Structure 1
């Protein structure tokens, strides 16, 4: 299922269901192919119309795309059916079906008979369904990226690689704390106001995923002890 907004070059996938999603060796579908199938008529087709790839294959004026041909070859796709669910001056919605075998004429008729029901169901859907699906997809990707870059508990906060991605000022604050200075001592040593130091601390707490000063000091001192132990072992 996909949506194409007129200011975009290509349609955006809204939802996908792949019968071979559990097959580790199968190439998974990553984009819609409605534009590849419909060609010139992509932005001109009206709602409730259905388009069969097999009808185009016998048309000498229709030119396939390399992306579509690669997809058909890797997954042995014989037929792609595109249904225009809705259309307006701003956007169009599509649903497409991919088949690993050619469809019989009777099967095409059955699909065409199903189109009005699909269109009515789509027009009667809950408002905001597509937008919510897109937002959910972005949220999933954002969470996955955040999890990938999450600071590991055993990582040294003051390590050379700066695993918490501290700013230069935040790193200096942690160094001062590791030397036993209090917040007031840090302000005097770095010539900063107490408010500025506490702002740095709040950012440090967030980046290192600690609840406050006691846990931060534990992480700093623990990582320093671990680093010292590793250095002794290498000597």
Structure 2
């Protein structure tokens, strides 16, 4: 979600809301927020519950729960029961601990050469943007001449791209490269070896 809708529900109480209190969109006296209405409409949602977790001078933290049906009495009671626990957990957290754990895992994955598909977002072969475009077209079955034509590049530029791609993907010819590109196998991203030109 790109933005918070807490202000749409709490309005002028945004900075004064008591942590743990539950505020519902349907019970809010605030004007309708067109952005919230569009967000709900696009996702077939009807209700929003906002639970303030902490309130400070510089910022206030909220938990937003969006529902596809209005919570009934039992659901509301359960939310009331857990809201205090949510606030205590949030208050007692170690800020940055989760982000640091994610970063640590990412660093370890890089060190271990985590495997990912050549054309995945991880870009394990560290292809440049131009090299990536060449690989995408090759993976669709286009011959090198057609890729060169589609990208509007010269023969020598295409040859340079292929030489770099072979080195980065640890392949030595077009057949090996195309196999890597269309294979369900993953690429470890180890240090590439040098290979001959196209």
User: Could you tell me which of 57, 68, 74 is aligned with 1:100?
Assistant: 68
Q: In structure 2, what is the equivalent of residue 123 of structure 1?
A: 91
SS at match of 1:74: helix
The structure number with the bigger radius of gyration is: 1
User: Could you tell me which of 126, 150, 156 is aligned with 2:127?
Assistant: 150
TM-score w.r.t. the length of structure 2 is 0.52
8 Å CA contact retained: 2:19, 2:52: yes
SS at match of 1:47: coil
Deviations 1:113-157 (A, max 9, x none): 221111111222233236548969xx9xxx937669724498899
1:158 & 1:145 partners in 2: Cα distance?
A: 28
Structure 1: 5+ residue runs without aligned partners? 1-28, 165-208, 227-235
Q: In structure 1, what is the equivalent of residue 57 of structure 2?
A: 89
1:92 & 1:67 partners in 2: Cα distance?
A: 21
Aligned residues: 138
2:101 & 2:64 partners in 1: Cα distance?
A: 17
User: Could you tell me which of 53, 59, 65 is aligned with 2:25?
Assistant: 53
8 Å CA contact retained: 1:157, 1:163: no
Deviations 1:170-206 (A, max 9, x none): xxxxxxxxxxxxxxxxxxxxxxxxxxxxxxxxxxxxx
8 Å CA contact retained: 2:25, 2:49: yes
CA gap 1:85/1:109 in 2 versus in 1, 3 angstroms: same
Q: In structure 2, what is the equivalent of residue 35 of structure 1?
A: 7
Q: CA deviation at 1:85?
A: 0.8
Q: In structure 1, what is the equivalent of residue 142 of structure 2?
A: none
SS at match of 1:159: helix
